[in-house]
Copies of this chain bind each other. A is one copy, B any other.
Amino acid sequence: MPPRIDFISLGVRDVRASRRFYVDGMGWPVHREVSGEVLFIQANHGLMLSIWDRGQMHSEAGVDDDCSVPPITLSHNVGSSAEVDGLIAAAQAAGATVVSPGRTQSWGGYTGYIADPDGFRWEIAYNPTWSRHDDGTVTV
């Protein structure tokens, strides 16, 4: 698994309040959104910032709301479900804790989560709707 971050997801308490700041206030363009649940903003070449309802993040990423696990995930995207399983196994061999093995998520992708020594969540993801174009533009 090379060191590559494709998504940064911030787990927020109120997506609408975040939208007022990032979109209405800062003027950042929304790539795609599901009102009140998640919004995506391109944040660098090949990098998407996701502003995500914290409860949904906790549920998918295996986070308890006990303050011990930071409400963010960093995602590393690969090209197939088999690659997800392979990288989760490699990360486990390297000392990561497997939080949830690869599984099909409600949004159509296949992802699993590992935790680093501080509990930071890394999502290993096959997302069939994700494309990274040569100029760095990401669509999801």
Contact = CB atoms under 8 A, between A and B. Distances in A.
B95 A47 contact: no
Interface stretch (A4-12, A100-108, A123-131): A4-12
A138 B52 CA distance: 28
A74 interface: yes
Instruction: State the copy count for this chain.
Output: 2
A17 B118 CA distance: 9
Contacts of A41: 3
15 contacts: A2-B28, A3-B26, A3-B49, A8-B8, A10-B70, A10-B120, A20-B95, A20-B117, A21-B94, A25-B95, A25-B96, A44-B44, A47-B47, A67-B67, A70-B71
Contacts of A140: none
B43 A3 contact: yes
A81 interface: no
Contacts of A4: 43-44
